[in-house]
Structure 1
């Protein structure tokens, strides 16, 4: 059922990966890890689509795992002196200063403090970057106190993609492809080239994922995620979505590619490193920690990266950082151990906790303790 290999000492990780299929009904998935710049785990298995197995080169939509990639892109602009974290976003995107948003900083956007956790998608095409960015530029920040530190699931991407476009000229997807994917040889794309669509898995929503309950709370109405409502799985699997390159939720990758990306944040990989060590440290320096008002659980962010919380979504090491993706995927690194990892899958679940990634990361932690 599963394929791949592990280096000596990582056999328990392969066993945990196999158990996800035999005991937890995993549909299709991949898991990979690097240690000190070298691949030590590379596993895949199950079904990529109803009529085909998961192959070594299958690519997978990682939803908010994309945010770690986009955060690194913004940090590269910071490293080059093009962008300053403490500067207002309106310095680079003047239209964004409308409706009382002139003081919102780049750091606040990266750390989910922009007070723009949602927008009205009934008025704009989700896949039209220019239209959504213009709507967000004109939109007033929410005056609901809960919005002061609230996960910006989708809007985060348009805000930072527009920052990259205004300061560099390239889209987030093009910037990442040129500056990270090409030099590092990554199987990672923010916007999947049409020639690779045949390698993409078919996403499946488990029971309870796509729900559209009656809501009277105006902030919850604003937060209504167009990717998690009935019928959204048709969007996930569409050619248009695969190509769109949404900077918060639109990347496709192999687990091997994501683990290699995070390995490059810890040191050289095959002689290549894009971000300087001090830039990575800046990116994972805590900006804010607190309770997400609707989830009721702790969240913590640096400059776009998720940080360790009590829930341990990114593993047990205290210095864990990276970003999870909706439905179960996990991507990140443990600097103190020289470890990077990626788990991705094509069945989106709402279980909390989701034992699929947690058991894999527990096995990886045991192997590297």
Structure 2
């Protein structure tokens, strides 16, 4: 019943010019798809950009589950300096759902890999009165990493490693250990994909940053996660497990819609299904996509989780993940769920 997925994976190479990728899926707690090809081997680790946000969201939700913070609390309750410039009422839920009105850093990105410096810049910055519900590609991570540090004492990368990756035996990291850098795929961008703009990680020449040892080690909580597809699919499978680290009630809280826009719909850090079907065809899908095409998430009603990682970034619309999730959907429907 999962043969359609392997066929779609092969077509991505033969018909869509895929140079290297991996795809994995769990169904009812069992690994049912584990594919890799081209420049990606079985143990290749990939940068997943904003796929990282789902991991950081889980860390925040675990603190909620433990009673250490509340989503409706102002962020400044835990991080007093953040209340400057009229931000004292911005809640944790608003930050998680990209409503902090801090989509960029006015001070610039020269200190991109220095968490303390970037968090301090954001704390001192006035919110953009015109931003509204605007995706926060990188700043989201500094805000929530600082929240985790203030509440728990550990940076989000260490928190995830100790609370999720170790007990679940996940090949997933926010900030890659030095000993694993040799397993990382070199990320590439075809001509014309990267453009001049406010995002320093999506401008011509940014591949030098992505593929640097400094970036791999930095542990950016929004865009600095690394994983195998197998590891990410297992992570989302754990969120469907009634005996998982996050309880069903906590996962439901994370999936509960906080805000929706024309092209975005968010719960507590998780990207929810939208009209473009970027998470497949399941209405209850949740997870997070990554820049360039990667997809990571779960279909609760079908007890299925998935992860697609690739070495070449492309702009949307991108048929590669669409083809794979469509084929996976056929397999999950064939099980009767």
Shorter-chain TM-score: which interval? Answer: over 0.9
Is the 1:74–1:164 Cα contact (8 Å) retained in structure 2?
A: yes
Aligned to 1:225: 199
Give the superposition deviation at 1:121.
5.4
Does residue 38 of structure 2 align to residue 46 of structure 1? Answer: yes
Which one of the candidate residues 133, 148, 169 is aligned to 1:149?
Answer: 133
The range that moved more, 116-125 or 341-350, is: 116-125
Match of 2:60 among 66, 70, 74: 74
Gaps of 5+ in 2: none
Q: What TM-score, normalized to structure 1? A: 0.89
Partner of 1:25: 17
1:139-179: CA deviations, max 9, x gaps?
000011xx110100000000000000000000000000000
1:242 to 208, 216, 241: 216
Q: CA deviation at 1:130?
A: 0.2
Counterpart in 2 of 1:14?
A: 6
Displacement after TM superposition at 1:134 (Å): 0.1
- Counterpart for residue 209 of structure 1: 193
Alignment of 1:107-122 (within 5 A): 107-120=93-106, 122=108
* CA distance in structure 1 between the aligned counterparts of 2:287 and 2:97, rounded to whole angstroms: 13
Aligned ranges 1:297-316 → 2 under 5 Å: 298-316=263-281
Quick one: distance in 2 between partners of 1:121 and 1:234? 22
Q: Does the 8 A contact of 1:65 with 1:331 survive in 2?
A: yes
Shift in Å, 1:240:
0.1
Aligned length: 333
Question: Does residue 21 of structure 2 align to residue 35 of structure 1?
Answer: no
| 1:217 match | none
Three-state SS of the structure 1 residue aligned to 2:306 is strand
The partner residue of 1:289 within 260, 276, 280 is 260
Decide whether the 8 Å contact of 2:52 with 2:224 is kept in 1.
yes
**2: distance between equivalents of 1:123 and 1:41?**
39
TM-score by length of 2: 0.97
Distance 2:94 2:305 in 1: 26
User: For residues 45 and 121 of structure 1, what CA distance do their matches in structure 2 show?
Assistant: 41
Query: What is the Cα-based RMSD across aligned positions, in Å?
Result: 1.0
TM-superposed CA distance for 1:124, in Å, is 3.9
